[in-house]
Chains A and B, each alone.
Chain A
């Protein structure tokens, strides 16, 4: 199955079958207003809900019995929760980064993908936020990280990376929500004005806040959207840099590296684009968006994944080089441990997934091949998760103190919590696809008008 036959000779971001501006509205708003959810959607919701329930049970069990149910031990104290947090926040960072970067650089192809990429950010960051709270051990006191007047006159420890994470996640989540909403307002008005269920139209109308589409409103919306995009790019870089600093600001072999912040940001873009590819393929198929999400989009995204894969490879090489060039025995021991230690199959698998698999995208035909796109995107997601867990497990298993060397093995509860958050993410995406337009109608209308 290859999408290449659909590619027009000139690069267009919509198919010629989308002729008028109202066609765009019908394609995107139609499934929300006119059609009921099909059995496939209900089956998917059922599975996702069941998986989310199992994950919630595992979390509830952990809260009742304590973190001893996890694989974390006295040496590898971070384990799955922090690896999952970094993985999810990486995916979460990518949506707003992709949307804002492409907006600022006036990349017209963002119009069809930015909305669900931003939704991906909201849901992924929400999943990410669960893990540091659970990992506290006493999650009921997580609000102690916020400064507020209290009888004991205590204040947060501002020098702690945990407090940085708290501010980064909360600020980024709320910022992304506002950025998402600013782009969504005109489309909410479209849904409000379209014949359909009275209850839903009231809901969309309330959120549309009385949007009419006057020139003054469009100017205000565009100005704010671009201004927020200009803030979003450094914000995203700072959020994931802070996550990188959780490691780099410590004193552990393999972590104290200045390359970590940029390396984490590129990793976020890498895994985020992989999820966007999977979402684009799923939504295109399920909501019949072939006219709006075209093979050229996949070609462009595959190129970004290829570039990010090369940067990831260079980052790994920089890590090996600095260990060798720095001459620090503990750093060199960690690198040797990566290639031949307890976790070597996972490390080699990570290199295969993150560095080797994206190289397939050098071949033009493969950049629009659905099986290859799915395969590489899944490989990247697995590879990036392996990278997150290995950064933690390898360094903490073989730190400076030999008496503290221990290997790490996750438990079933660890796996169920991770699986539960993946199912919850899928569930939120499924609900989003039925409640809000997955493609930015007003931006695609402009694109269609330009391309005609």
Chain B
């Protein structure tokens, strides 16, 4: 039988202490839920490639509109506007710059959804009421306890470090 120890903390300090103790004791942290982007998060899973993707989609969008502008003004519809050159590049720049910013944001949004694994409206984590408490202001930790492991020792460790609520879920 496997079990899951769930603990709720009211502050970042006790949560970080518990996390450090659990990792030190080589326990498996299988889930973490936070009420804000804590500085202690550091770098890691989730953020990879977002900045690069934003820059790439922005440049691609801007370049595509500039190409369309140039083609339409020079080839498709070569209109003499007051003697100005067909390739009036300074006047062609504003629209691609604006559009490039928009495509950058759209590209970033798609990557954000992928990296944060969003659009999954149903997830097993939502079965635990503690996860809902995290979005209101709590820090929640889920620790895996396999058969043969002392689950009560995990609960004691969580209580020692300042968990205001902890329980064991068996499955």
Contact = CB atoms under 8 A, between A and B. Distances in A.
Interface of A: 20-25, 29, 147, 153-159, 163-164, 167-168, 170-172, 174-175, 178-179, 181-182, 185-186, 189-190, 192-194, 205-206, 209-224, 227-228, 231, 234-235, 238-239, 242, 245, 442-443, 445-446, 449
B31 A214 contact: yes
Interface in B114-162: 115-123, 125-126, 131-138
Interface residues of B, number: 67
List of 3 A-B pairs having minimum Cβ-Cβ separation, nearest first:
A21-B137, A216-B46, A193-B132
Contacts of B2: none
Nearest to A172: B98
B46 to A, nearest CB: 3
Interface in B1-37: 10-12, 31-37
A21 B88 contact: no
B36 A231 contact: no
Nearest to A159: B91
Given A216-B116, A234-B101, A242-B98, 5 more contacts: A22-B138, A178-B108, A212-B135, A214-B31, A219-B45
Interface of B: 10-12, 31-38, 41, 43-47, 50-51, 54, 58, 68-69, 72-73, 76-77, 79, 81, 84, 88, 91-92, 94-95, 97-99, 101-102, 104-106, 108-109, 111-113, 115-123, 125-126, 131-138
Contact of A217 (B43, B46, B109): B46
Contact of B47 (A164, A210, A220): A220
B137 A20 contact: yes
Contacts of B92: 158-159
A371 to B, nearest CB: 36
A143 to B, nearest CB: 15
Given A182-B112, A215-B45, A231-B101, A221 B135 contact: no
Contact of B41 (A153, A215, A445): A215
Contact of B105 (A159, A175, A210, A221): A175
A214 B135 contact: no
A417 to B, nearest CB: 26
Contacts of A443: 36
Contacts of B109: 178, 181-182, 224
B47 A223 contact: yes
A210 B108 contact: no
A221 B112 contact: yes
Contacts of B123: 210, 212
Contacts of A239: 98
B43 A219 contact: yes
Nearest to A25: B136
- Most B Cβ at <10 Å: residue of A167, A192, A220, A245: A220
B112 A168 contact: no
Given A206-B121, A209-B119, A211-B118, A171 B41 contact: no
B122 A210 contact: yes
Contact of A224 (B10, B11, B102, B112): B112
A209 to B, nearest CB: 4
- Most A Cβ at <10 Å: residue of B38, B112, B134, B135: B135
Given A218-B46, A231-B101, A213 B137 contact: no
A222 B37 CA distance: 7
A20 B10 CA distance: 8
Contact of A193 (B79, B118, B120, B136): B136
A227 to B, nearest CB: 5
A163 B69 CA distance: 12
Contacts of A210: 117-123
B98 A446 contact: no
A153 B97 CA distance: 25
Given A147-B68, A220-B112, A186 B118 contact: no
Contact of A213 (B33, B88, B102): B33
